[in-house]
Structure 1
Amino acid sequence: LLSTPLNPLQHDYTQAMQRSGGMLLKLLNDALDLARIEAGRLELEPSPFDPRQLLSEVAQLEQGLAHAKGLRFVLEMSDDLPAQWLGDALRIKQVLLNLANNALKFTEHGEVILRARRSADGLLCSISDTGPGISEASQARLFQRFEQADSPQRRVGSGLGLAICRELVDMMGGSIELESQLGHGSTFHVHMPLAEPAVAMPVDEFASGRHYRLLLVEDDPIVATVICGLLEREGHKVKHVGNGLAALGELAHAPFDAALLDLDLPGVDGFQIARLIRQREHAGQHLPLLAVTARSGNGDEAKARESGMDGFLRKPVSGEQLITALARVVPGTVASEELPA
């Protein structure tokens, strides 16, 4: 909706809806993460990632909030960061976004700086702000669950973010430290041990101008409309069907560059559809399959890959996440035939 023509009032309303939805999603994810941690079911999923790209994405996501508050958000990266590290990029980004969001939330004037440099065994980040600072009494309990420092922004959030950051960093074998003084701002130091992959994997980037012909298998019409809209906005052609049997019918009559499969479909689920697609492929054929699911279990991604899927995304997804995931699974050669009407 925000990418369509809107008058100023409609634009403000739509942004308010987006912020409210984002806050609700964050509260829900915090509660789910805490439940998984307590149950011992939260597992890290390390894979090669580009630290510079990750840090740039964090900075890009924070620029909007900084601009809205009239603040500067600065990213400083040292030159010695490696091309790739081995770690759970999603959880690393979660920690840095949480700390950066907090810094922006409690800062009214000045700037927030995210600094990143290489340590002896991994990544050392610091997030500094020019906010009011945190008293020693509040510092002592800040990383406890449901605790927040006294401030006008106290009601914004659950008080779980910093506790989850500490849990995640502990799982990585790292540490979080806080330096703060009332009236002089705050700095969080995060140390995360990371190994370099034995063989550097090529970084797969989306090349602008590549337009895909995609099959979306999704039974929820609202979710389907959102995903179709995000993909079509990038110039891709999307054919939507609501169940697995219809998907098999489409694949029998028209070529596609990739298929996006919901896992919980009526009748035949996404895992079974993926297996059937693989069974029907001839030698040399391989349709890229991307799972797009609301499931949150740790074993779902492994199960999806065992069934023959090439990629995995959890809802809700952004347009950027969809495009990045597709770029990782779709080969460079894109078919040129038009989708059937």
Structure 2
Amino acid sequence: LLSTPLNPLQHDYTQAMQRSGTMLLKLLNDALDLARIEAGRLELEPVAFEPRQLLEEVAQLEQGLAHARGLRFVLDAAADLPPQLLGDALRIKQVLLNLANNALKFTEQGSVTLRAQRIDGGLQFSIIDTGPGIPEASQARLFQRFEQVEGPQRRAGSGLGLAICRELVDMMGGSIELESRLAHGSTFRVRLPLAEPPAPLPTAVPSSDRCYRLLLVEDDTIVAAVIRGLLERERHAVVHVVNGLAALAELAQSSFDAVLLDLDLPGVDGFQIARLIRQREHRQQHLPIIAVTARSGNKDEAMARDAGMDGFLHKPLTGEQLSQALARVIGSTSTAPVVPQETD
């Protein structure tokens, strides 16, 4: 909607809806993360990642909020950062985004700096702001659940963010500390033990400006309309079906560059559909399949890979996430059309 022609009042309303949805999603994710931590079901998934790229992604996400508040967001990454490290990049990014968001929220003027430097056996991340500082009496309880610093922004959050940051950093074997003085700003420091992988791995997938023919398998019409709109804005051709059997029928008569497949479909689920597609492929054929799901379990991605899927995306998602996933799976696989085998 924001990418379509709107008058100023409609644009303001739409931005308010987007901000409210983003905040609601954060509150839900915080509650889910806390529940998983308490149940001992939150598992880290260490993989090789590029620390500089991760920092640039965090900075890019924070630039918009900083600009809206009239602040500068500064990325200060040491020149000697390793090209790759082993760690749960998603959870590291979650911690840094949470700390950076808090710093921007409570800073009225000046800047917020995200600094990264090597330490013995890992990295140290520092989030430094020029805000009002945090009273010493509040610092000790700030990492407790449902605790927030008093101020006009107090209601713009759950009071869970810093508690979850501490839990995640503990799970990663690191430490988090706060240094703050009234009227002199605050600095959060996160130290994480991160090993270097034994051999260099492929770099980030380059973006592609190709237009693809895509099959979207999604039973929720609203979700399908959103995903279709995001894809068509990038000039991709999209065929939408609401169940797995209809997807197999489309694949029997048309060729596609990739399939976007919901996992929880009526009748035959996405896992079974992916297996059927793989069973019907001839030798040398491989149709890229990307799982698109609202599931939040730790083992769902592994199950999707076992079923033959090449990518995995969580709803709600952005156009950028879709583009990156398509570039990744189509760039690394053969996109010959699937032709079902004859059956008796």
Compute the TM-score of the two structures, normalised by the length of structure 2: 0.95
1:257 touches 1:334 (CA, 8 Å); kept in 2? no
Which residue is equivalent to 1:206? 206
Which residue is equivalent to 1:40? 40
- Once the two structures are TM-superposed, the CA of residue 266 in structure 1 deviates from its matched residue by 0.6
2:288 touches 2:333 (CA, 8 Å); kept in 1? no
Which residue is equivalent to 1:307? 307
CA–CA distance in structure 2, aligned partners of residues 63 and 10 of structure 1: 24
Matches within 5 A, 1:1-341: 1-331=1-331
CA–CA distance in structure 2, aligned partners of residues 266 and 336 of structure 1: 28
1:206 touches 1:323 (CA, 8 Å); kept in 2? no
- Once the two structures are TM-superposed, the CA of residue 135 in structure 1 deviates from its matched residue by 0.8
1:22-52 CA distance string (max 9 Å, x none): 0000000000000000000000111111111
1:266-317 CA distance string (max 9 Å, x none): 1100000001001001111111111110011111111111111111111111
- Once the two structures are TM-superposed, the CA of residue 335 in structure 1 deviates from its matched residue by 6.5
1:104-125 CA distance string (max 9 Å, x none): 0000111101111122211211
- Once the two structures are TM-superposed, the CA of residue 336 in structure 1 deviates from its matched residue by 11
- Once the two structures are TM-superposed, the CA of residue 332 in structure 1 deviates from its matched residue by 5.9
- Once the two structures are TM-superposed, the CA of residue 20 in structure 1 deviates from its matched residue by 0.3
CA–CA distance in structure 2, aligned partners of residues 87 and 9 of structure 1: 44
Letter in 1 for 2:10: Q
CA–CA distance in structure 2, aligned partners of residues 118 and 305 of structure 1: 34
SS of alignment partner, residue 16 of structure 1: helix
Letter in 2 for 1:41: R
Letter in 1 for 2:236: H
SS of alignment partner, residue 2 of structure 2: coil
SS of alignment partner, residue 141 of structure 1: coil
SS of alignment partner, residue 173 of structure 2: coil
CA–CA distance in structure 1, aligned partners of residues 24 and 196 of structure 2: 36
1:244 touches 1:269 (CA, 8 Å); kept in 2? yes
Number of residue pairs matched by the alignment: 337
CA–CA distance in structure 2, aligned partners of residues 331 and 98 of structure 1: 33
Runs of 4+ in 1 over 4 A off after TM superposition: 332-337
CA–CA distance in structure 2, aligned partners of residues 299 and 333 of structure 1: 24
1:50-78 CA distance string (max 9 Å, x none): 11111111111111111111111111111
Letter in 1 for 2:242: G
Letter in 1 for 2:317: V
- Once the two structures are TM-superposed, the CA of residue 334 in structure 1 deviates from its matched residue by 8.3
Letter in 2 for 1:290: I
SS of alignment partner, residue 197 of structure 1: coil
2:287 touches 2:334 (CA, 8 Å); kept in 1? no
Q: Unpaired segments of 5 or more residues in structure 1?
A: none
SS of alignment partner, residue 176 of structure 2: strand
Q: Over the residues paired in the alignment, what is the CA RMSD in angstroms? A: 1.5
Between 282-291 and 208-217, the greater mean CA deviation after superposition: 208-217
Q: Unpaired segments of 5 or more residues in structure 2?
A: 338-344
1:236-267 CA distance string (max 9 Å, x none): 22111110001001111111111111000011
CA–CA distance in structure 1, aligned partners of residues 333 and 35 of structure 2: 43
Letter in 1 for 2:132: P
1:212 touches 1:334 (CA, 8 Å); kept in 2? no
CA–CA distance in structure 2, aligned partners of residues 2 and 69 of structure 1: 20
2:285 touches 2:334 (CA, 8 Å); kept in 1? no
